[in-house]
Amino acid sequence: MKLKVGIINVTGYAGSELARLLYSHPQVELTSVTGRSAVGKKLAEVFPHMIDIKLNITEELGKVDLVFSAMPHKASAEVILPLIKQGVKVVDISADFRLKDAQEYPVWYDFVHPAPELLPEAVYGLPEFYRSKIAAARLVANPGCYPTGALLALAPVVKEGLVYPDIIVDSKSGVSGAGRTLSLTTHYSEATDNVSAYALKGHRHLPEIVQELKALSPGFAPAVTFVPHLVPTARGILSSCYARAKEGKLAKGEAELRKLYKDFYKGEPFVRIVDQPPGTKQTWGSNLCLIYPSLDSRTGKLVIVSCIDNLVKGAAGQAIQNMNIMFSFPEKAGLEVIPLYP
């Protein structure tokens, strides 16, 4: 019997990607989807490319074994809490359970958390870090798109104590990262032929990056400068991460660095250490994270480049990867997609 799953808020980009990927999952049946702005419509009316998925968008979920919540922050926690009490397992794509300190939510997300008692229990859903905890979880907090790329890029050198705490993360994202809600900055005339930095005084994903870097290496106090940029493409995130190697470390140069990364991610189904700097199109539509580690011998600076599809490994694909782990399915089930190119 297939696992019955539902999607809350299928009408957003992450929700629609979940539906697309779940449709071909061999051990899952997508039985219920909600979307407040499109209640009563067929899914294919809202997304014509999903003509083969014969589901109506409803106001409430039917009976399911697992729920993906693709609601915005704050609203997600409100709909999740009753489901948790009913014993339904949840993968939350919003930020509502990513941060362990409830005091951070008023600062970064402008709301008081309604269930701080669940924050210690919620498992941060980066499988490469927390696979065993995810397997036993009833509530998984799917990581943000920017943190996914940055953390996978930095994890090996931070965990091994090879770099100083002063770290720079320079990320560039396609406009789908802003969601489907209309806004001036993502209007075609504003975004096309244009690259712009934003949130220079602090992006909401910054505390998430800091929290998980600290967890990688007890006693490490990262001082992270995170600058996101909007670029005129539909999807994809390229992160260039900069850190200075500690004296006496990586004495054998870039060859030692690359071996460290290959050993660290050996056996990981979706992380690839590549031989040349990757581009975002090399991950489009896939759950892959491509990482290119390099060392500038003149300055002792590490430059680690990572690429992901923000809607797949940065959202829906990683959520399905987490579900697979939670229910002991093959981890690549439903996600064995070769990137779309060109």
Same domain, 161 and 303: yes
307 is an active site residue:
no
Q: Which residues lie below 8 Å from residue 163, measured CB to CB, with a gap of 6+? A: 157, 243, 244, 245, 246, 249, 302
Dihedrals φ, ψ of 289, to 5°? -125, 120
Question: Helices 317-326 and 127-135, interaxial angle, to 10°?
Answer: 40
Tell me, what DSSP letter sits at residue 56? B
139 falls within a domain: no
Domain-located, residue 136? no
Angle, CA of 222, 228 and 230, to the nearest 5°: 170
Q: Which two tokens stand for residue 230?
A: 């909007």
Domain-embedded: residue 265 = yes
Residue 165 sits in a domain whose CATH number is 3.30.360.10
Sign of torsion over alpha carbons 153, 221, 73, 66? positive
Q: Judge whether 187 lies within some domain.
A: yes
Pairing of strands 57-58, 28-34: parallel
Query: Does residue 160 sit in the same domain as residue 59?
Result: no
- Evaluate whether 42 touches 55 at the Cβ level (below 8 Å): yes
Establish if 137 belongs to a structural domain: no
The per-residue pLDDT for 75 is 95
pLDDT tens track for 304-321: 999 999 999 999 999 999
CATH number at residue 100: 3.40.50.720
pLDDT for the residue 36: 86
Residues 236 and 291 in one domain: yes
Q: Which domain holds residue 205?
A: 146-309
Catalytic residue (one of 145, 241, 289, 307): 145
- Verify that 39 and 98 share a domain, yes or no: yes
- The answer on 116 and 153 residing in a single domain is no
Tell how strand 196-197 and strand 271-273 pair up. unpaired
Residue 16 and residue 113 share a domain = yes
Please tell me the distance from the alpha carbon of residue 55 to that of residue 120, in angstroms, as a whole number: 36
Query: For position 259, what pLDDT does the model report?
Result: 97
| Tokens 């009316």, located at residue | 45
Q: How far apart are the first and last CA of the chain?
A: 38
Q: What are phi and psi of 76, to 5 degrees?
A: -65, -50
Residue 63 near residue 5, CB atoms below 8 Å:
no
Inside any domain, residue 80: yes
Does residue 195 sit in the same domain as residue 64? Answer: no
- Kindly state whether residue 245 falls inside one of the protein's structural domains: yes
Whether 182 and 289 share a structural domain: yes
pLDDT for the residue 104: 98
> Which contiguous run of DSSP H or E holds residue 323?
helix 317-326
Torsions phi, psi for 257 (to 5 deg): -65, -45
Residue-wise pLDDT tens digits, 158-185: 999 999 999 999 999 999 999 998 899 9
- The tokens for 335 are 């996600």
320 falls within a domain: no
Calculate helix-pair angle for 317-326, 13-23, nearest 10 degrees.
50
CA separation, residue 321 to residues 25, 34, 95, 192 (Å):
11, 22, 18, 33
Q: Rounded to an integer, what distance in angstroms lies between the CA atom of residue 321 and that of residue 334?
A: 9
Taking 50 as the pLDDT cut, the residues of the chain under it are none
Q: Domain count for the chain, please give it.
A: 2
